[in-house]
Structure 1
Amino acid sequence: MNWQDFHFIRPWWLLMLLPVLAGLARLWWRRASDSAWRGVVSPELLPHLLLEEALRRPRWPLMLVFAGFVLAILAVAGPTWERLPQPVFSNQSSLVIALDLSRSMDARDIKPSRLQSARFKVEDILHLRKEGQTALIAFAGAAFTVSPLTDDARTIISQLPALTTDIMPVQGSNTAGAIRLATELLQQARQPAGQILLVTDGVNLAASVDEARKATDLGYRISVLAVGTEEGAPIPSRQGVIKDAQGNIVVAGLNLEALAEVARAGQGRFARMSLDDTDIRSLDLVAVNQDLTRAGNASDQEIVRWRDFGPWLLLPLLPLAALVFRKGMLILVFVMVMPFPGKTEAGWWTDLWYRPDQQGQQLLQQKKPQQAAQAFRNPGWKASALYRSGEYEQAEKLWSEEQDADSRYNLGNALAREGKLEEAIAAYEEALTMNPELEDAKANRDLLKKILEQQQQQQQQQQQS
């Protein structure tokens, strides 16, 4: 239990404690005033003026009643300290960046060096990606995982300064191994689609083309960001510059045609590194997935909701009621002999202690969206469960009746899943009108616009042919 998160969902109900305290004080003062007669009335007359039974009546029933009222008010106020997730859906795109750490990346034909410029560019890419998962690979003669797929870009950015050519145990430019390792990372994360970006100044062409085609068959595409200039520059070393066996200075050039060939084999894009972000935009790294099915892949995020523990405070009221109303002792016996409920069992016991929406939430957490959709009464929650179970048309009908920004955004997701791209874009536009800060709605809208443009271009090409 996290006491820092403890609060009441409906704190205004705590104001009811004021009249309860006032009533208790009044009853207490009245009992005290009755007892004061003992000090002023003769003992011989006291039995005839006051009921002795009233004077001897204990105070604990009054305190029990007061405790019952307090527990009831606290229960209605809704004490909580546990966050409850509510599903909202956003596109997930996966990107694996393979950064070349071979010696040629130390060349200074671009300032301050190829490698430092490449690290800055990778950081720019991570800042521009608003959503999705990213992994980082470093390679030279062999490829190594720096960070697996994660949505925490700050972790990857913090590791970039440590990536230098000196840390690589084997020198070379094994881009084929980098593609192979990137493909394995995407498969291990069970990503049906994704993009691999090679940030490099050279490739082993034949092997890289072969690996790029294999990755394409699995649903991944390979893009290449070329680092350096065609003229090239010497490669600095501790002794000055690197020389070959004949003592000639080695100049690190840039074979643009070979790099572009790998991108074509991987059905990706090719770009030369630029000072601005035109290279990143031309590579289309922000919106990776191109077809509608991949664009609809969803992952759970969380909108902060709180679990209401108030109903559990009502349980102590049962024995309190039995003690105050002594004829109700059978209630206490009934509670003691009843079996303790299991987790979300359907039936009268679950209906007794959990509201339908609470039952639906538990079923949703147990990965039972179809049963959760039947249990939910709240339209938004019901639509979320229907969406998870693949009932996009029914989810669309429920979300279309809601007028808040989140519902409009989720409506756009459902319409996109049904293939109604123009209607989905309109729904995203409505969500952004209500809440311009919905970054997911902006990303999804822009992605669907690109898909529509591609479809229109394909239709025009087919008509022309």
Structure 2
Amino acid sequence: MSFLSPYWLSALLVVPLYLWLGRRNGWHSQIWLLIALAMLILALARPVFSQKPITVEQAGSDVILAVDLSYSMRAADIVPSRLEAAKKLLRDLVHSDQRDRFGVIGFTTSSIVLSPLTKDTELLEHLFSGLDESQIITKGTDVMSALELSRKMSHAARPIVILLTDGGDEPNYAKEADFVQENDLAVSVVMLATREGSTLPTADGSSLKDEKGHIVVSARNDAIEAIINEGRMIQGPDIGAVRSLIDAARHEDFSGSTSVMRYRELFYFPLVIALAAFIAAFTSIGGKLSRALIPLAALIGLSAQGSVLDFGYLYLAKSNYHHGEFERSAELYAKIDSPQARYNQASALYKAGKYQESLALYRSIRSDDPRFKADVFYNMGNCHIRLQEFEEAREALLKSLTLHYSRDADQNLHAITGVEEQQTLSVRKEKKDQFAQEENKPTGESKPSKAGGGSNMKSDMASGGGGDEGKKVQSDPRLSMSQGKARLSSRQYELINQRSVRETKPW
């Protein structure tokens, strides 16, 4: 048995606190009320029994969200600011649409990929929260760079591109409109500015001024409507309109399957006990209902027994892992229902050479912890490397680096850049396997700390891609995640600030 909302269990501390505060007046007369409260808290924690996961076939569209990060997006004519409204719209969209894949581009006078196409809501939300506009110093807007990068991101015949912008500063977008038509982009625009416009705040709290000392007012630029293709202009951060637009333009750009965990809900058991105890607390039949303590004790005993069994399985699983019995270790970890146990089970399967099974388990893990999810994506990337699926490995490593920077993940990403799918990993036969002995080590085990942190594997391809020993691999700098921590890296901010087009009059 496990709990889907275990944080509610912390509320059980109220029960002993109440007993201590009411010790003078005697708590025996209120024992039923306390039991009702405790059982209600258990029901809110949602106790469940895990059932066998099912495989669900999925298909959807590639949706590329290009977010204008230029200085004018700090204007407050859209409350609280244009950029904050864009972030909220992005969060609401990825949470409400579980069918499509989302990729995110940030652009000013240059464009970078903030997130590759993914269905991982937690990854995307972490990215939006970590975006710090104070690190972006460019003031102009180059819409063409965003369109070009959008076309490179997706292999779909006609990906959906949604620009979240105030319209930029070009008086004419004919060149961009031609590019959209020639490259089959389904482009729509979410206009995040008003006709009246707004002043732009500076770091000292004053309003931005031009070179003549006049206060700059940034208003919407309707000229950008020329690039719309099979879409429309949406006024303001209207989540309903954006969802309707995606539904109307949806087509099957990708298909695949995913594992969905199934649970049997048990909340009604403590809820029934809570109801019975509540009745007993305010009626004369409380004494007769004392027999209800027997099934309550049985329920608590069953839970305690389950915890003891989990501890036993954990001990045996770790022991088998350290003795090289990886398949047996995976079987024992499978008997424990928790994300950490599934992680360890997947790690044991990886050590056993069952990369497909390991990958499927990693995909089923859900967590709100960015560091833990970074490790999961990193291990998924190494599974894909073992399976010679280098494009998938690249996407997994990018997601890992988005959540938490790791030197090992960065090296692996550079190592596989440009490697063809049909190439074999011949270095396995020619060299000693360079995967670290720490790789896939079960969580909870001590291991030496490594510079960069976060990683728990090293790829046998870290020395170079495609078997070319000692050769540096050049990757697309717009996709680089190096030098960062849990948020957007300083290198990404440097790249987006690298150009200075129309800096004098970017409005």
TM above 0.5, one fold?
no
With structure 1 as the length reference, what TM-score do the two structures score?
0.42
Of structures 1 and 2, the larger Rg is shown by 1
With structure 2 as the length reference, what TM-score do the two structures score?
0.38
Task: Name the structure with the higher helix share.
Answer: 1
Q: Which has the higher contact order (CA 8 A, sep 6+)?
A: 2
